[in-house]
Amino acid sequence: MTVVSTTLGLFPLPDDARERLADLKGHQKEDLVSGDEPPDIEAAYDEARDDLLTRQSDAGLDRTVEGQARWDDMLAHPLAVHENVRTEGIVRYYDNNNFYRDPVVTGDLTHSGDLARDLEKASALSDDLQAVVPGPYSLSRLATDEHYGSSQEFLAALGDFLAGEVESFPDAVETVFVLEPSLATETLDGGEDERAAAAIDGVAAAADAEVVVQSYWGTYGEKLHAHLLDTDASALGYDLVTAHDDATYLVQEYGTLDSVSLGVVDGQNTLVESPDTIDERIEWFRDQIPVSEFDTVYATPNTELFYLPVNKFQAKLRALGAAGGDRE
Amino acid sequence: MSENREQFRPPGHENDHFLLTTVVGSYPKPSWLNRARDLHADPESEFDDEDWREAQDDASRLITNEHERAGLDVVVDGEMRRNEMVEFFADRIDGYEFNGPVKVWGHNYFDKPSVTGEVEYDESWLVSEYEFTASVADRPVKVPITGPYTLASWSFNEAYDGEEALAYDLADLVNEEIEKLVAAGARYIQIDEPALATTPDDHAIVGECLERIVSGIPDDVRIGLHVCYGDYSRIYPELLDFPVHELDLELANGDYDQLDVLKQPEFTKDLALGVVDAHVAEVESVEQIERNIRKGLEVVPPEQLTVSPDCGVKLLPREVAYGKMENLVTAARNVEAELDAGEIDVPARD
């Protein structure tokens, strides 16, 4: 079994980039990223990406992410910069004291290439690149549809859109993390679970890389979990920080995919876990599972890391980098 | 109606009816105060601690007088000495530490603190702010305090076994602070709990916090609770069980779409009704505000009605904030006169 230390991306902006970008862009919602930044802002983002990749490789992480410094709107970013999407008022990001611009889809979600462009730049700087994308179901919950007409069609369209984006990722991308917090924060009913899994399956099938579907702030419903096990993903992710008992129950009862991703570091608390604590949490999970041979165990924070101040973010990267490694 | 309300009626009030007018708390800072803060932070500047204190005193006096000029019955100094509603208090409480800014949205950040040990009362938080404001004010002064539930929720908790335990300890500290404020002469305290709106299921924790906060505080001290930007149906009627005299709610922002929630069961507290929107940079007309005040009379009779903005107005341009206060007072006085003349129905009495 290989333990691969990585993150769910969406990092805090390093201090100098934060100050520089606030000066260049401004503080109002109309100042946020639109997808066609002028050269001075693009240069600031290029430097921030370089900085974030260096921090990860210095920390010894096995997979490094682009860091998504440009994602002003957290997981809603790929829509917020799309030409057929208008951004409206500031809305709450899940149950947090964080806000993003409400993306209102007004036309076909055509191929954008926004994520691929950032990954191309990162691929020149990293040998172990991992992409992070929002899952189609979460994106459907974070956005407003004025074009597709029904929640079913909207979800399917988001699945197709994300599959197209993932398909154009550079070859250097070794893993794609598909973040799906809404699969845990909402109760999916009326066939929604099956449709969500089908949309995710489309994204997973389009990737020329290992695909990890990760939810957090709770875990999957039992039926949804069963549907997710039928997808083309390589691993399912479980949030052991907020739902370790429910998550292990699911895996005990229904099994999981050949690989597993475990949220073992609290992405929303400044208390920094030691590498030993991280290892113990992984061991604890393995002990709960009768057949505990996984191809790969991804060791991650349970959430994105932008909630943390930069010093604690950095400390969490180092702890993750020092934990794990190859083991029997 | 709570019996401690009448003490805020100004001497010589022109109408028999009295709609208490006030503000939630924060107010735009004069731009020179921000320049003074930057100078004070600059190690190469000669602008020392004494200069900075004087600048804050000047700003506090200026905004207190601005509130009085607008005609408000109860005034605040616009929180001129406070940087942010959590940071300001965390900075004064033992057990907190700061690690750097975190994102709220876009390029807007706040210095979210971490609780790394047991929280303890150290220096006084607000007594000198109150004493100064009261010394320059001709009207009664209200003291807004960030509530313990919000102080707990909007911090990283490294030390406590859950947010609830942390909130209760913080509530005891708030109680200690209020005792000192009361000893200094304060008679109107407002607890701000915006975090309750994000997690309405925790209303029982907020209720227990308030029990601790008011313990031993005399009845003639008016205690208000401010909650904003939430789904009130999830916390009403439970709010009525809280040991406070007044509930201050944001309602203008949603054009009173939640008003019906507050009608059943009967609203038994005083209602501080938001009658101007804190996030729209246009001054509502007197007529519009009068219509908004009448919305309040659908919920409570005039003797239970306080008139105030939806929320702190610090993000508005200062002249807009002032225009809203001025029109708010004019509208309240107009409605009082119409009530005196028997020209307005009070649906809440039916």
Q: Per residue in A287-304, pLDDT tens? A: 999 876 899 999 999 999
Average confidence (pLDDT) over B83-89: 93
Question: Hey, CA dihedral for A239, A242, A248, A251, is it positive or negative?
Answer: negative
pLDDT at A163: 98
B102-106, B163-167, B199-203: range with highest mean pLDDT: B163-167
Q: Does A307 touch chain B (CB under 8 A)?
A: yes
Q: Does residue B264 sit at the A interface (CB-CB below 8 Å)?
A: no
Global pTM value: 0.89
When CB atoms are compared, the residue of A21, A100, A311 closest to B100 is A311
Nearest chain B residue to A25, by CA: B107
Chain segment B268-327, per-residue pLDDT in tens: 999 999 999 998 889 999 999 999 999 999 999 999 999 999 999 998 999 999 999 999
Q: What is the pLDDT of residues A153-164, one digit of tens each?
A: 999 999 999 999
Q: Specify whether the CB–CB gap between A10 and A132 falls below 8 A.
A: yes
pLDDT tens digits, residue range A13-46? 999 999 999 999 887 777 888 888 999 999 999 9
pLDDT of residue A327: 40
A101 DSSP β-pair partners = A90
Q: Quick one: average pLDDT of A138-161?
A: 98
Q: Which helix (H) or strand (E) holds B119?
A: strand B113-121
Q: What is the pLDDT of residue A28?
A: 75
Residues 243-282 of A with CB under 8 A from B: 268-271
pLDDT cut 90: percent of chain B above it: 91
The residue among A280 and B253 whose pLDDT is bigger is: A280
To 5 degrees, how large is the angle CA B76–CA B80–CA B86? 95
Supply the mean pLDDT for chain A.
Answer: 95
Question: What is the per-residue pLDDT for A328?
Answer: 36
Say yes or no to pLDDT of B181 above 90.
Answer: yes
Average pLDDT score over chain B: 96
- pLDDT above 90: residue B262: yes
Provide ipTM, 2 decimals. Answer: 0.92
Q: What CA–CA distances, in Å, run from B23 to A75, B67, B131, B139, B249?
A: 37, 9, 19, 13, 12
Contact B72, B25 (CB under 8 A): no
User: For residues A20 and B250, what is the distance between their CA atoms, to the nearest angstrom?
Assistant: 35
Q: CB-based contacts of A94: which residues, under 8 Å, 6+ apart?
A: A181, A185, A217
Q: What pLDDT, on a 0 to 100 scale, did the predictor assign at position B317?
A: 93
The closest alpha carbon to A219, from A255, A199, A195, A245, belongs to A245
A207-233 pLDDT, tens digit each: 999 999 999 999 999 999 999 999 999
Q: Confirm or reject contact between B99 and chain A (CB < 8 A).
A: yes
Taking 60 as the threshold, does the pLDDT of residue A326 lie above it? no
Query: Does the beta-carbon distance from A270 to B105 stay under 8 Å?
Result: no
Chain A CB within 8 Å of residue B105 CB: yes
Euclidean distance between CA atoms B333 and B10, whole angstroms: 12
Task: Give the model's pLDDT for residue A54.
Answer: 97
* Pick among B107, B114, B201, B202 to test the A interface (most A CBs inside 10 A): B107
